[in-house]
Amino acid sequence: MSNASETVTSLSSETRAGVIGVHGVTKRFPGVIAVNNVSLTFHQGEVHVLLGENGAGKSTLVGILSGLQEPDEGYLSLNGKKIRLASPSASLDAGISTVFQHSMLVPTLTVLENLTLGAPWYERPPRARIAARMEELKREFALSLPLDAIVGELSLGQQQQIEIARALLRDSKVLILDEATSMLTPQGAHELGERMQKLVKSGLAVIFITHKLAEAYRYGNRISVLKQGALAGEMVPDQLKSMSEDQAVDEIVRLMFGREAGAGSTEQRNSTKRDDTVLKLENLSTQGDADVMGIADISLILQAGEIVGVAGIDGNGQKQLAEAMAGQRPLNSGRVELDGEDITSATVAQRRRKGLRYLTDDRLAEGSVAAFPISENTVLKDIGQPPFWVNGLERPQRIAQHARELIARFSVHAPGETTPIGRLSGGNIQKVLLGRELLGEARVVVFNKPTYGLDLKNIDTSRQRISEIAERGLAVLLISTDLDELMALSDRIAVMEGGRIRGIVKNDGSGEALRLRIGRMMAGEEDYKQATA
């Protein structure tokens, strides 16, 4: 937290008591600390921006404030008094309304019906009163909503206005907008920004969650940056006002992607790059849809002994790239070459046998079958292959022996090879999966967020293993959202944004300058400026 206090330059506004406070809140999920000892105060009359990458803990905080989850440690306060928000209705009663990223309206009902959904069942919908209030809201906040329209037929922006109106009709004190601009047009986002300012002027506290840097500066009065579950820093209103947009964005980039204050110095590893090209990607493109971002025109070359890092804010096509490489995701176009051989049309299993390995980021849901014992999980990608199967018949002893060897070699902490893998901690599952990927003749290993959600000790050993793999002459593609990790391990770093590679930089050890450059590329700011210049 030293970083947080460091950035708090002005205390004048801090002295004002906030509406809601979050005090030392920690929330753990299996294998991951989602929110780690976060303290925040939200004030009346302010748009308080919570900024952070996916997985930084923003959504969990929203969940805690809206009563969906309760903190494991720490507490919440309302107007200076300690409160417990054990359920969504408790949160609503406390005057906290949340507009979630995905619409929480019933699309087949009318606007009026949606607005009155939470009311007691024995009351008739007070149509006249709501209509009068809506008239007021229309004047004050430019919310114009036809009461009898079917919600599903309205635009996403209008649906969001309904949710805001619903919060206002409840006389909420605090309005939380979770990734509210993600489904709006730039124009819609701009309108929302103005509306938020009007709302706070009327006395509300608005909590605005986003991962877009420019929005944070433009619409926010106060910015708190979350990083891997912890508060990385805060920018108070006075400080923000005194900065230009560029300065503010620089500062935010520093907070979001900068070196953590307490983290040990991660020495850059010596390159073990050799001259022979192992993997060549040419113009890979995949189909995107509403839920999944497609990738476009990805070209990369991996050489033996080289670690190529892929930086980017989570969800900018990194996983799709990994899946396309592993053969799990069909390509629209492009070509994959391994050791000079075209493997574009090879299946997942064929690519694996040729030495292209992919360690998924989703250890539990994709990488393993939780209920199966460790032994079976170690061979799930080689079902039917000798020596574990002979003529399609399983050889349990051989598999068990292999699993025991793997457990010993990768120092997996497990009661035995028959333990269901779902009972292990994230770090130990990761070791099993890594052992599985390195089995046999591996040539290229694609790591997707290999240290995500692990504790410090496991992070260190994982990174150690990755550099050992490169030393052995394998090519490594290291996808990570942790810039420290990428800068410590990579020879080159490709930055992905919006499903494309925005640039590939050599990791020349130039430290902070490189970090800032990558950070801005990740945020898409570089492009943005060029577009608006």
Partner 1 sequence: MTIQDDMNPVSADPETNVDGIARTVTERSALQRVLTLTVGPILAAFLLSALILMLVGVNPLTYYGYILERSLFSGLGLQQTATRMAPLLFLCASLIIAFRAGIWNLGTDGQFLLGAVISAASAPLLVGVLPGWAVLLAGFVLAALVGAVWSLIPALLKAYQGVNEIITTLMMSFLGVLLASTLVKLVFRDPETTVPQTRTLPVEDRLPRLFDTSISSGLIWGLIAVLAVHLMMTRTAFGLRLRMVGANPLAATHAGLSVPLLTLATFGLSAGFAGLAGASEILGVAGNVRANWNPAYGLMVIPLVFLARFNGVGAIVLVFFYSALMIGSESAARRLGVPQDFTLVLVASLLICLGLGEYIDHHKRKKER
Residue ranges that bind partner 1, judged by CB under 8 A? 326-328, 347-349, 352, 358, 360, 362, 365-373, 376, 380-381, 383-384, 389, 392-394, 415, 418-420
Provide the minimum distance between the beta carbon of 408 and partner 1 in the complex, in angstroms, as a whole number.
Answer: 19
The smaller minimum CB distance to partner 1, of residues 83 and 439, is found at: 439
Please give the Cα distance from 443 to 115 (Å, whole number).
59
The smaller minimum CB distance to partner 1, of residues 195 and 352, is found at: 352
b/e string for 234-262 if b means 16 or more Cβ within 10 A? bbbbebbeeeeeeebbbbbbbbbbbbeee
346's CB contacts (< 8 A; 6+ apart) are 327, 354
Provide the minimum distance between the beta carbon of 366 and partner 1 in the complex, in angstroms, as a whole number.
Answer: 5
Please give the Cα distance from 176 to 162 (Å, whole number).
14
Please give the Cα distance from 509 to 488 (Å, whole number).
9
- Using an 8 Å Cβ cutoff, are 453 and 480 in contact? no
Q: Where are the beta strands (DSSP E) in 192-306?
A: 205-210, 222-227, 230-235, 277-285, 298-303
Please give the Cα distance from 70 to 457 (Å, whole number).
28
Helix (H) or strand (E) holding 479: strand 475-479
Provide the minimum distance between the beta carbon of 419 and partner 1 in the complex, in angstroms, as a whole number.
Answer: 7
The smaller minimum CB distance to partner 1, of residues 226 and 326, is found at: 326
Provide the minimum distance between the beta carbon of 326 and partner 1 in the complex, in angstroms, as a whole number.
Answer: 8
The smaller minimum CB distance to partner 1, of residues 244 and 391, is found at: 391
Q: Taking the CB of residue 319, how many other CB atoms lie within 10 A of it? A: 22
- Using an 8 Å Cβ cutoff, are 441 and 413 in contact? no
Which letter does DSSP use for residue 142 in this model?
-
Q: Return the C-alpha torsion angle 382, 384, 388, 390, nearest 10.
A: -160
Provide the minimum distance between the beta carbon of 432 and partner 1 in the complex, in angstroms, as a whole number.
Answer: 13
The smaller minimum CB distance to partner 1, of residues 422 and 473, is found at: 422
Provide the minimum distance between the beta carbon of 371 and partner 1 in the complex, in angstroms, as a whole number.
Answer: 4
Provide the minimum distance between the beta carbon of 319 and partner 1 in the complex, in angstroms, as a whole number.
Answer: 12
The smaller minimum CB distance to partner 1, of residues 368 and 507, is found at: 368
The smaller minimum CB distance to partner 1, of residues 254 and 381, is found at: 381
Provide the minimum distance between the beta carbon of 428 and partner 1 in the complex, in angstroms, as a whole number.
Answer: 17
The smaller minimum CB distance to partner 1, of residues 257 and 358, is found at: 358
Provide the minimum distance between the beta carbon of 374 and partner 1 in the complex, in angstroms, as a whole number.
Answer: 10
The smaller minimum CB distance to partner 1, of residues 261 and 369, is found at: 369
The smaller minimum CB distance to partner 1, of residues 45 and 422, is found at: 422
The smaller minimum CB distance to partner 1, of residues 210 and 448, is found at: 448
Does the N-terminal peptide bond of residue 237 adopt cis geometry, omega within 30 degrees of 0?
no
Using alpha carbons, select from 515, 532, 523 the residue that is nearest to residue 254: 515
- Give the pair of three-digit tokens for residue 527: 């492009």
169's CB contacts (< 8 A; 6+ apart) are 115, 130, 133
Provide the minimum distance between the beta carbon of 23 and partner 1 in the complex, in angstroms, as a whole number.
Answer: 29
> Which sign, positive or negative, has the C-alpha torsion 148, 151, 156, 157?
positive
- Using an 8 Å Cβ cutoff, are 297 and 500 in contact? yes
Provide the minimum distance between the beta carbon of 327 and partner 1 in the complex, in angstroms, as a whole number.
Answer: 7
The smaller minimum CB distance to partner 1, of residues 264 and 330, is found at: 330
Provide the minimum distance between the beta carbon of 423 and partner 1 in the complex, in angstroms, as a whole number.
Answer: 9
Q: Where are the beta strands (DSSP E) in 263-363?
A: 277-285, 298-303, 307-311, 333-338, 341-342, 356-359
Helix (H) or strand (E) holding 468: helix 456-471
